[in-house]
């Protein structure tokens, strides 16, 4: 972390906190520590980003006890109240990497940002999965070439990940050795929404051991869409989706990495003017995403990306091409 001057941040960034035993937290004796470890909560970070009912349901330790342990873990990592000055310092530790498209980078204020959740939605074949592939390569570029010299994690809910495509994309980047590049993309297929949640719950320990700066979830919604049919189950679905998204957001914060999720669209009934497509997932997704990007098709292999929601950037558009080498400027 070159830009970070905040020592509190370093505690999260580096692996130094791994040397602090979870036994050192108040309320954690050897028996509880063992139960926590067995359930996969073996580090302060894993505890800090968890919720009481999540751990309680796996370990059968009471929620109140777990609540105190989580608070202690967050305390020891200095996650909590902070002044605006501290927040500014923390924001400086956000890093950016290139998408490979100058226009998309400019739209995002200089590239894909860590500690941020980017949601990309659009109809089929608009490029959501292609951008995901591209980012898995560009995050690996050396810093002087616009990357973060880091690894990517690809969670595939649709079965559309293609390592061959990464090999085509990497041809444009002579700084990267194709074989090493492939090894630095960690892949996991998710099979249903519970499995997806389980994968995300297990991530803290995994992230502790890897230099991951990008997590892709393609797509965040498909399992939910097929499992929860009919409006009767909508509240339940939204609650689960909410839990998943917030866990991802907290991981992005705690490990200073970017989260890229894709979403599908549905026809918006009763909308006669404008674009009749709306992202699925409703308010839950809208609130969780830091950046929302809407993709649409243009002529041939041209695509238009529109930044529709961002905390501090204007609503702008970017045009890009999808060709043999991935995402390109037109």
Question: What residue ranges bind Mg ion (CB under 5 A)?
Answer: 128-129
Which of the listed partners (ligand GTP, Mg ion, none) does 324 bind, with a CB threshold of 5 to 8 Å by partner kind?
A: ligand GTP
CB of 278 to ligand GTP, least distance (A): 15
Nearer to ligand GTP, 59 or 277 (CB): 277
Residue 33's alpha-carbon distances to 74, 120, 201, 204, in angstroms, are 16, 40, 18, 16
Closest contact distance (angstroms) between CB of 123 and Mg ion is: 10
Q: For residues 73 and 135, which CB has a smaller minimum distance to ligand GTP in the complex?
A: 135
Q: Quick check: 220 and 267 in contact, CB under 8 A?
A: no
17: partner contacted, choices Mg ion, ligand GTP, none (Cβ within 5-8 A by kind): none
The residue ranges that bind ligand GTP (CB under 6 A) are: 122, 124-130, 160, 165, 322-324
Please state whether the peptide bond connecting residue 22 to the residue before it is cis, i.e. omega within 30 degrees of 0.
no
Separation of alpha carbons 122 and 305, rounded Å? 9
Contact partner, 329, from Mg ion, ligand GTP, none, Cβ < 5-8 Å per class = none
Q: For ligand GTP, which is the closer residue by CB, 98 or 130?
A: 130
Q: How far is CA 81 from the centre of its chain?
A: 23
What tokens does 142 get? 């050396």
Residue 272 interaction partner, one of Mg ion, ligand GTP, none, beta carbon < 5-8 Å per kind:
none
Q: Quote the least distance from Cβ 131 to ligand GTP, whole Å.
A: 7
Rounded Cα distance between 111 and 254, Å, is 20
Round to the nearest angstrom and report the end-to-end CA distance of the chain.
Answer: 34
Which residues, in sequence order, are CB contacts of 223 under 8 Å at separation 6+? 157, 190, 191, 192, 193, 195, 196
Do residues 57 and 65 lie in contact, with contact meaning Cβ atoms separated by under 8 Å? no
The listed partner (Mg ion, ligand GTP, none) that binds 127, CB under 5 to 8 Å by sort, is ligand GTP
94/11 Cα distance (integer angstroms): 15
CB of 214 to ligand GTP, least distance (A): 16
Rank residues 122 and 281 by Cβ distance to ligand GTP and give the closer one: 122
Q: Are strands 277-279 and 291-297 parallel, antiparallel or unpaired?
A: unpaired
The residue (of 59 and 129) whose beta carbon lies closer to Mg ion is 129
Paired residues of 271 in beta bridges: none
* 177/324 with CB nearer ligand GTP: 324
Instruction: Give whichever of 40 and 122 is closer to ligand GTP, judged by the CB atom.
Output: 122
Residue 160 CB, nearest approach to ligand GTP (Å): 6
CA 286, CA 309: separation in Å to the nearest integer? 8
Least CB distance to ligand GTP at residue 128 (A): 4
322 binds, among ligand GTP, Mg ion, none (CB under 5 to 8 A by kind): ligand GTP
Whole-number minimum distance, CB 129 to Mg ion, in Å? 3
- Identify what 237 binds: Mg ion, ligand GTP, none; CB under 5 to 8 Å per kind: none
Q: How many CB atoms are located within 10 Å of the residue 254 CB?
A: 21
Q: How far is the CB of 168 from ligand GTP (least distance, A)?
A: 6
3-state SS assignment for residue 167:
helix
Query: What does 81 bind: ligand GTP, Mg ion, none (CB cut-off 5 to 8 Å by kind)?
Result: none
Give whole-number Cα distances, 293 to 94, 136, 263, 271, 321, in Å: 20, 18, 10, 20, 16
C-beta nearest to Mg ion: residue: 129
Instruction: Identify which of residues 194 and 324 has a Cβ nearer to ligand GTP in the complex.
Output: 324
């Amino acid at each position: 972390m070159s830009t970070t001057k905040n020592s509190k941040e370093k505690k999260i960034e580096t692996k130094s906190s791994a040397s602090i035993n979870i036994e050192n937290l108040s309320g954690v004796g050897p028996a509880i520590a063992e139960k926590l470890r067995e359930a996969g909560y073996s580090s302060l970070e894993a505890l800090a980003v968890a919720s009481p009912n999540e751990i309680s349901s796996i370990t059968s330790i009471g929620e109140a006890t777990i609540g105190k342990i989580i608070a202690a873990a967050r305390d020891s990592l200095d996650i909590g109240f902070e002044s605006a000055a501290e927040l500014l310092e923390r924001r400086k530790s956000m890093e950016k990497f290139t998408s490979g498209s100058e226009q998309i980078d400019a739209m995002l204020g200089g590239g894909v940002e860590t500690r941020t959740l980017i949601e990309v939605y659009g109809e089929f074949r608009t490029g959501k999965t292609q951008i995901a592939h591209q980012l898995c390569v560009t995050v690996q570029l050396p810093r002087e070439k616009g990357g973060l010299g880091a690894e990517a994690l690809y969670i595939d809910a649709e079965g559309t990940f293609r390592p061959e495509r990464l090999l085509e994309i990497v041809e444009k980047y002579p700084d990267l050795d194709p074989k090493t590049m492939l090894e630095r993309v960690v892949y996991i297929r998710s099979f249903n929404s519970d499995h997806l949640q389980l994968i995300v719950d297990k991530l803290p320990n995994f992230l502790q051991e890897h230099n991951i700066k990008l997590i892709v979830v393609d797509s965040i919604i498909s399992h939910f869409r097929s499992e929860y049919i009919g409006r009767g189950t909508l509240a339940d679905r939204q609650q689960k989706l909410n839990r998943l998204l917030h866990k991802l957001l907290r991981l992005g914060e705690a490990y200073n990495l970017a989260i890229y999720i894709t979403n599908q669209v549905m026809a918006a009934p009763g909308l006669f003017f404008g674009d009749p497509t709306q992202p699925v997932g409703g308010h839950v997704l809208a609130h969780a995403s830091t950046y929302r990007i809407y993709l649409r098709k243009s002529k041939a292999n041209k695509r238009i990306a529109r930044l529709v929601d961002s905390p501090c950037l204007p609503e702008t558009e970017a045009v890009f091409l999808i060709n043999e080498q991935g995402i390109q400027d037109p």
